[in-house]
Amino acid sequence: MEANPQALRLCVLICINFSSFLHIIEAQDQNGFISLDCGSPPNEHPYNDVQTGLTFSTDNAFVQTGKTGKVQEEIESLFPKPVWNLRYFPDGIRNCYTLNVTQGTKYLIRALFVYGNYDGLNEYPGFDLYIGPNLLETINLGLWGTGGMFEEIIHKPISKSLQVCLVNTGTGYPIINTLELRPLENNSTYNTQSGSLRHFRRNYFSTASRTVRYPSDVSDRVWIPNFDEKKWTEVTTNLSVNTSNGYNPPQFVMASASTPISAFAPWNFTWTWLLTPSTTQFYIYMHFAEIQSLQANETREFSVLVNGDPMYERYSPKPFSIETLSYFTPQQCDQGNCTVELLRTSKSTLPPLINAFEIYTVIDLPLLETKQDDVLAIKSIQNTYSLSRISWQGDPCVPIEFLWDGLNCANSNASEPPIITYLNLSSSQLKGIIAPGIQNLTNLKELDLSNNNLTGGVPEFLAGMKSLLVINLSGNNLNGSIPQALLRKKGLKLIRDGNPDLICADELCANKSVGSKKKNSVVPVVVSVVVLVVLGFALAFFFVLRKKRTPNSADPRTTGSSVLAIMTKNRRFTYSEVVTMTNNFERILGKGGFGMVYHGTVNSTEQVAVKLLSHSSSQGYKEFKAEVELLLRVHHKNLVSLVGYCDEGENLALIYEYMANGDLREHMSGKYYEFLQIPYLCMVTYENCPIGLEYLHNGCKPPMIHRDVKTTNILLNEHFQAKLADFGLSRSFPVEGETHVSTVVAGTPGYLDPEYYRTNWLNEKSDVYSFGIVLLEIITNQPVINQNRENPYIAEWVGLMLREGDIQKIVDPKLHGDYDSGSVWRAVELAMSCLNPLSARRPTMSQVVTELNECLAYENSREGTSQNMNSQSSIEVSMNFGIRTTPDVC
């Protein structure tokens, strides 16, 4: 029998929801069951579903976010009550349910999604469904005519809580109607070599129309009848069948079976993987019981073959007692075409027989959850301060694109859970004492509690945190004496100013205090090395420039050295020289990806930025080496220059030219923004950044891909000359003839190329995508992700504005309309072309530079009035701005 998986899943969906049972037997124990009617009123009492007897309750206590809706009235009549409500998530990227489970117990987890035109838009949404930190499936309700589908897996949680997350991918708000967890009766069944089991089909072979689930099935598996009347004959019994073998299918399921119509023909069943790769691995569980009373001269014996390979050569079902045949290892079908055959042996007088089977595909869940002690600690801190951050849902550290705001994590070994190494709660309106839960973050290296309203004393437990290197307590109302143990801790940097009642009578205070406050917005940029081409900024703001550009006679591909006088040759410094140049690490400039950045001087005159690698960061060492190797061979006036380095045992440092005015993002949001953008930022950023990025792609041999293009990686020197920085994530481009390099995904959420994220295939167009985001950021002066916007993701928001046709709603209002609208239109179209979901359709950086030059030329040529040009871009631009370009990150 040929099975159509699409039709099957629709059938299962329909059967789950509006099949009526012939009878409801006495209710079974629902101990451990979780049955959530998602979106039902928070004050609604639990109720029993009339079809199943299952007790459903509101989901309000299991999720922090989302809004409630109801399917339309005409849809209600097709579904039972648990499906009438739904919860949808218009805010945030990842929204999660947190469910308490028994660690190590296998669960059947089922989620149901029925759109029901709840919003009146008649637009089916699509979104991603995650189990913990791992992607389970992309839900695309538009594929199904009913506008609904379900997902079901058998999964063993490794902790005491399970998180089911819905992720906005830019194609409509995620929705969910019901969420159900069922502990399996026998934990030794449904074993896999690795991964979890995703439901593909579960059939019993009968002409009955009854869908069987709870209470007939104590684990609430859903059994769908299947019968091919052209090929099979039904066998049934009214006698009891012993179904107790661990799998324990319902009595009703095992009381029927199918045999071939022709006594000598094989029994066969076929299916094809239509929506999954042909290499999909699967497990099949075949349930047999002899349900005919055989005469002394009758024998039923057959071979069981899967995809032509014998699974069991001479098998006879047990009389009125279940046996389940399955493989210990996952199976695979030839080109996705799968077959089960039962072949009668020469000894047999009766045809083959089968009662039921289950098929599951293997779903790998490779990402480990964050170390549970760290999860408990950060949630304790969250509860202590009543922190309500929409990103603080799901796993704190993984996947990296959903990393909680204010955290950094380390995961040097894929076989070990990630750990939290950095906590920044600066300017978070914290009140009360320093939370005791902080001490349970045993791997924390840096703690920033600055600019809050914390009171009480500085706790001594901070001194006992062995990994802690930096504590910033500035700008609070702390009082009492600083513990001597904290002051005497070697290698610790304590920033305490701005607490007038904090007493420090120890002579060590002078060495443990920083003279100026650490800036709240950490500048991972100041430290960064060689920078790419974040060419963005130039865009919107250069429209406003009236100044003439200074002629640039330099070749964009030149490898000329920096204008800084200190840039003589790359030097190797000793660690003692690093200590001297930083005055014992006195002044912190910011925090780099894997180390602190300090201000220093060389020869007591030339200023430098010193990035010191944290000793315990193995992942940081890898990036450190990458930056050194790249910067020693790449020199360009539009890239931050490497002055020298220190490689002395465990002491590793990079010394860069000093960029006195921080990063571009900082100035875009700062108080000097309106002043700086006109005389300096626009033109300088445009002149330098695109050329630098284009140089990396085309001027380096082998070419380089930056992988972390963003406004915080554009640094400004004392003359507001912009340069690209931070090459810790950079990779060499493939050799000639190759189109991409396969690598683990890295980058910054919001700027990450969605194609790269999905495929792990990296090429130079990934930088182009990131630059497109930077370009929009500059034009709009809007954050990349803003939950207060109707469309949080900047590309999606700009696309919506473009459909309305009003450029003034896109451009930063601080420009007061002083720009050429035609140039702006052209620049926005360029940015959107950079964001094409298909990398092959994005422009190259050379094309981007050319297009920006033309935009700037139009802007500079106007004489006080807008020319309202309608010129067409020379680059292929997708004008279908209705297409969502939200990346798979947030």
Measured between alpha carbons, how far is 818 from 864 in angstroms, rounded to an integer? 9
- Calpha distance 216→613 (Å, rounded): 61
**Average pLDDT value for residue range 180-208:** 95
Q: Is the pLDDT of residue 525 over 80?
A: no
Q: How much is the pLDDT for 282?
A: 96
What is the secondary structure of 297-316 as a DSSP string? Answer: T--B-EEEEETTEEEEEEE-
Question: pLDDT digit string (tens) for 649-678?
Answer: 778 888 988 988 888 877 776 544 444 443
Tell me how crowded residue 463 is: count the other CB atoms within 10 A of its CB. Answer: 20
CB atoms under 10 Å from CB of 801, counted, come to 19
H or E element in which residue 742 lies: strand 741-742
Tens of pLDDT, residue by residue over 336-351, are 889 999 999 999 999 9
Q: What is the mean pLDDT of the chain?
A: 81
Q: What average pLDDT does range 303-313 have in this prediction?
A: 94
CATH superfamily, domain at 372-411+420-508: Ribonuclease Inhibitor (3.80.10.10)
Q: What is the mean pLDDT of residues 224-239?
A: 95
- The stretch 722-751 carries a mean pLDDT of 70
Rounded to the nearest 5 degrees, what angle is found at the Cα of 372, between the Cα atoms of 368 and 373?
Answer: 145
Q: What's domain 31-183's architecture?
A: Sandwich (2.60)
Write out the two tokens for 129: 């469904």
CATH topology for 535-861? Transferase(Phosphotransferase); domain 1 (1.10.510)
Distance of CA 374 to the CA centre of its chain: 19
> What tokens does 24 get?
């409801």
Least-confidence region, from 278-282, 504-508, 650-654, 747-751: 504-508
Tokens 């295939």 belong to residue: 761
Of 21-30, 245-254, 335-344, 758-767, highest mean pLDDT:
245-254
Q: How far is CA 63 from the centre of its chain?
A: 19
Asked if domains 31-183 and 535-861 share a fold, the reply is: no
682-698 and 845-861 helices, crossing angle to 10°: 160
Q: Which residue has the higher pLDDT, 727 or 576?
A: 576
Query: How far is 757 from 239, CA to CA, in rounded Å?
Result: 56
DSSP string, 258-287: EEESSTTSPEEEEEE-SSS-TT-EEEEEEE
888 in catalytic set: no
pLDDT at 145: 56
Q: Check pLDDT > 70 for residue 606.
A: yes
Summarize pLDDT for 613-635 with one digit per residue, the tens. 865 554 566 677 777 777 766 77
pLDDT over 60 (residue 749)? yes
Which pLDDT belongs to residue 192? 93
Q: What is the pLDDT of residue 858?
A: 66
CA triple 277-283-289, angle to 5 deg: 140
Reply yes or no on whether the pLDDT at 172 is more than 50: yes
pLDDT band, very low/low/confident/very high, at 143 (cuts 50, 70, 90): confident
Of 37, 59, 128, 708, which one is the catalytic site residue? 708
Per-residue pLDDT at 617: 54
**What integer is the mean pLDDT of 572-599?**
84
What is the mean pLDDT of the segment spanning 254-281?
90
Residue 305: pLDDT band (50, 70, 90) is very high
Q: What is the DSSP string of 201-232?
A: EEEEE-S----B-TTTSTT---BEEE--TTTE
Question: Does the pLDDT value for residue 224 go beyond 90?
Answer: yes
CB burial class (10 A; 0-12, 13-18, 19+) of residue 238?
Answer: exposed
User: Can you give the pLDDT at residue 839?
Assistant: 86
Residues 230 and 854: their CA atoms lie apart, in Å, by: 71
Report the range of poorest mean pLDDT among 11-25, 216-230, 484-498: 11-25
> Residue 538 pLDDT > 60, yes or no?
no
Calculate ∠ Cα 705-708-710, nearest 5°.
Answer: 125
Residue in this structure with the two tokens 């801790």, named with its chain if needed? 489
HEC states along 408-421? EEECCCCCCCCEEE
The per-residue pLDDT for 786 is 85
d(CA 605, CA 601): 6
Mean pLDDT of 794-814: 83
CATH 2.60.120 describes domain 200-363: yes
Residue-wise pLDDT tens digits, 96-115: 999 999 999 999 999 999 99
Phi, psi of 187 (to 5 degrees): -80, -5
Q: For position 532, what pLDDT does the model report? A: 32
Compute the distance between CA of residue 876 and CA of residue 874 in angstroms, rounded to an integer: 7
State how far the Cα of 669 lies from the Cα of 592, in Å rounded to an integer. Answer: 20
Q: Tokens for 851, please give them.
A: 């297009």
Residue 611 marked ligand-binding: yes
The DSSP annotation for 525-583 comes to TTT--S----GGGHHHHHTT--SPPPP--S-TT--PPPS-TT-SS-EEPPHHHHHHHTT
pLDDT greater than 90 at residue 516:
no
Confidence band of 511 (pLDDT split at 50, 70, 90): very low
Select the highest-mean-pLDDT range: 74-83, 371-380, 790-799. 371-380
Q: What angle do CA 409, 415, 416 make, to 5 degrees?
A: 45
The domain limits of the chain are 31-183, 200-363, 372-411+420-508, 535-861
Q: How high is the pLDDT of residue 561? A: 30
- Model confidence at 66: pLDDT above 80: yes
Over residues 67-73, the mean pLDDT reads 94
pLDDT over 50 (residue 51): yes
Contact in structure between 607 and 567 (CB atoms under 8 Å): no
